[in-house]
Structures are given as structure tokens and as C-alpha cells.
Structure 1
Amino acid sequence: MDTELINKELEEVSQFYNIVIEFFTNYSFQIIGALIIFTIGIFASKFIQKIVLKVLLKNNIDETLSGFIASFVRFLVVMMVAILALGKLGISIAPFIAAIGALSLTAGLALQGSVANFAAGIILVITKPFKIGDTLTVHEVYGEVEAIKLSYSVLRNEDGEEITIPNKYMIGDVLVNSFSYRVVEGSVGIAYDSDATKAISAIKDMLIKHENISSENEAIVGIEKFNDSSIDVAYRYWVPTKSFFKTQYDVNLQILDVLNKTNITIPFPQREIKILGETDVPK
């Protein structure tokens, strides 16, 4: 009984051995060829990655984006080599391609928001519509650009608040870049019997002398409109983003002082009221 069992096991081992020998006899060259192709591909992908990274950095492409592109190129090369190696073994790659396509579609639908931010970040890095230090107004917020990431950008306002904005808003929304300054707009009403030319000159001289107001962009002062009780004198000037409100409040106080010193009147709203007597009432 034991002899029969041993003979049966030996027969099974012999069959397995013959199958292995037959497999290597028939497919040894394919296996060796596939291993050679894959090995060469791995080394080639590293070499190509270094070349791509060097070329991108040489052309002043952002370091983060350059590293990502170079790594992605290497991944594509490895995938192509793997497909070639599988083909060399005689394995059909159509099911793998179909599965990868299905997974890519599912991932794309699930992460479409993140993908949109990431794609927008790449566009920002390539086109460079703004740089670190510029002042942006976007999506109803403003601030100085502190960092530009692949999926989001970071702004910081005068209060020191850090504002994180997804990059899709940087591409798909109206973007105002005032660089390192912001414009301040204001107006003050003066009486009709005051000297408007004198008021405009006094306000402009004060703006020119103010230490926080930009000298590169000339301040503009002039008559904006004529109201019922006053003439509106408007002014526009540029200030550093980090001292926007502080400078604005200080300038408003100085404008008031200047107008008082030059005897320019800021009138109160006036209305004429006529009281009709009995003789004036129409019959």
C-alpha cells in the first residue's frame, strides 16, 4: 500500500517536473526577452526622467511642476515597457488596458474637483499670470500672494489672515492683479461757494507728500459730480497692500485737516421748506 502511494507521488512530481521543463523549453527565450526588455526599460526611464527634469529646470519651469512632469514621464515609460514585456510573453494586454481605462474614468469622476484644481495649478505655473508678492483680488477676497501650489494658492491680507484659494478660481474667475499695491478711492463734498481748484490742489499736495502713498503711480484728484448741496471732489491713490486700511484712515483725517486749514467748507445736506399760508392755499 505504501509502495503504491509513493509511486503515485513520484509520478505526480515527475509530471510536474516535465511540465516545468517543457514550459521553460518553450518559453525560456520569451521570459529572458521580457526580463531584458523590462530591465532596460527601468534604467531607460530613470535616464529619461533626469533629462526631462534638467530640460524643464533649464527653461525656468517651476521646480515642483518640473519634478512632477519628470516623474510622470518615467511612469509612462515604465508602463510602456511593462506592456511590451507582457506582449513578449504572449499575454494579452487588452483586458489590462480596459481595466485601467475603467479605473481612470471612475477616479476622474470622483476626483474631478481636485483634478480641476491640479490642472489649473499647472496652467498657472506655465503661464505665470502672477508671482509671489503680487496683490490679487479674486472671488471677492484680496491679499498678497504668499505661495503657489499645484492645487491651491495662498494669500495673506493686511490683518495677517491666511486665505487658501483653490486654483480653479484663479483660472475660471475674474483675477485682478495690482502687484504690490492696492488703489484707494474716495470723495469729499465741498460747498458751491468754496474754491474747488484750491481744494483739489491742497488734497493733491497732501497725497504727494504722504510717506505711504506710491510715487510710481500718480495720485488723481478732481471733481467727480455735482450734488444738490455740494461738489464731490474725488481722489485715487495707490498704497502698499499691507497698509491699505491704515493709510486710508490716516489720509481721510489729513484731508479733513487740509480742508479746514484752507477754509474749504464741507456742507451739510440742505433742503428748502416753504410753508403755505391761508392766502397761498389754492382754491
Structure 2
Amino acid sequence: MKELLLTYRYELLYSLAVLFILLLIQFLLRTAANKVGRRGEINITRTRLMFKYINILIILIAAFLLALAWGVGLTDLSLIFSSVFAVIGVALFAIWSILSNVTSGIILFFSFPYKIGDTIKIHDKDLDIEAEIEDIKAFHLHLRTREGELVTYPNNLILQKAVTLKHRVDGKDEGKDAL
């Protein structure tokens, strides 16, 4: 065991340093997302969704840096990542609307002026919708009409349409305890 530790001491030290730094970065990003969530009174569920995105980003960076640390060459690593991203790119092109909705969900997290419980009107030439925001998900909004119908409205469309606030909820939502 001692021989193994001496043989790979630099790789192990580099790996520990990378993991420590990435955990620190993850903590800082999660703290920042939590502060944005609290300041904007964003629902806890939406804040936790941002935590998932942060975790995925950290895992990808860790995989790249640890592969470098353990001797995978930069050309081999670039070949692997370019192949993976090519496949992902083709898949995402085929399902671009999903990517668009996820990206819109991230934008809504940081800049959507309406909260869960607010009543909004979406001005659409085909179908005007006036409803209460019941939930804001990664791909769509859940809207409840006065008639009790549940409408799922894609996140990318909510950014493209004019939206009017009809009634704001006075109470605070659950975005205070995001940790």
C-alpha cells in the first residue's frame, strides 16, 4: 500500500486538491444561488433545481481535471469530449425545444418578475390566458385558470410573449430556506 501511495503521490495530491477546490466552488455557487433565491423570494423547488445544474457542472469539470491528473493525454481527452459533445449536439438538435425550455428555466430563475401565487395574463394572439402561477418547473409553468383548469405553458414561450401582472400575492413564498 505504501508503495502504491509513493508511486502515485503527485496524482493523488492533485486529485485531492482538485476535489477540494471544486467542492469549494460548488459551495460558493450554491450559496450564491441560495442568496439569489432568498433575495428574489424564489420558491425552494426552483432553487434546488439550480443546485442540480451546479452539481452537473461540477461533475463535468471534475471528470475533465481528474482525467488530466491521472495521465489521460490532452489529445485523448479532447477526442473523448468532442465525440461526446458531437453526439449530445446531434441529440439536442433533435430535441432543441427541450434545451430551449431548460435554458429559459434558468433565465426565469434569475429574472422572472412573477412569483408562485401571482395571477398573470399571457397575451397570445391565438389564446389569451389569465391564470394563477401554481408552479415553475424546469421545462414549463403550471398555471391554474379561474375555471380550475391546469395549463402547462412552456418556459421558452413565456419569455416570448407579453405578460401582465393581474394580482400579486402579498405573502412571502418558500424561497427563504433553500439550504
Normalised TM-score (structure 1): 0.47
1:93 to partner: Cα distance? 1.9
Q: Alignment RMSD, CA only?
A: 2.7
* 1:178 and 2:166 aligned: yes
Q: 2-side partners of 1:154 and 1:70: how far apart?
A: 24
The gaps in structure 2 that reach 5 residues or longer are 170-179
Kindly indicate whether structure 1 or structure 2 has the higher relative contact order, using CA contacts under 8 Å at least 6 residues apart.
Answer: 2
Size of the aligned set, in residue pairs, is 153
The 2-side partners of 1:90 and 1:145 are apart by 50
Distance in 2 between residues matched to 1:106 and 1:132, nearest whole Å: 35
Q: 1:257-277 deviations in whole A, cap 9, x for unaligned? A: xxxxxxxxxxxxxxxxxxxxx
Paired residue for 1:157?
Answer: 145
| Structure 2 counterparts to residues 4-83 of structure 1, below 5 A | 29=7, 31-60=8-37, 62=42, 63-83=47-67
Residue 131 of structure 1 aligns with which residue? Answer: 115
Structure 2 residue 104 is the aligned partner of structure 1 residue 120: yes
Alignment partner of 1:132: what SS? coil
1:67-115 per-position Cα deviation (integer Å, ceiling 9, x unaligned): 13431342243133124224x3557323212212212212221221111
Q: What is the 5 A alignment of 1:99-114?
A: 99-114=83-98
Q: Is the 8 A contact 1:49 1:73 kept in 2?
A: no
Deviations 1:32-60 (CA, angstroms, capped at 9, x unpaired): 43343234323432332122111221233
Report percent identity of matched pairs: 23
Whether the aligned pair in 1 keeps the contact of 2:132 and 2:145 (CA below 8 Å) is yes
What amino acid sits opposite 1:168 in the alignment? N
* Structure 1 gaps, min length 5: 1-23, 182-283
Provide the rounded CA distance (Å) in 1 between the counterparts of 2:142 and 2:78. 44
In structure 2, relative to structure 1, the CA distance for the partners of 1:129 and 1:39 (3 Å cut) is: same
| CA-CA distance at 1:177 after TM superposition | 2.4
Residues 110 and 32 (structure 1 numbering): CA distance in 2 closer, same or farther, change over 3 Å?
Answer: farther
TM-score (norm 2): 0.71
Task: Give the counterpart of 2:82 among 70, 84, 98.
Answer: 98
- Once superposed, which parts of structure 1, at least 4 consecutive aligned residues long, lie more than 6 Å away? none
> Structure 2 counterpart of 1:106, which letter?
V
TM alignment of 1:254-273, pairs within 5 A: none
> Shift of the alpha carbon at 1:65?
4.2
The one-letter amino acid of 2:31's match is K
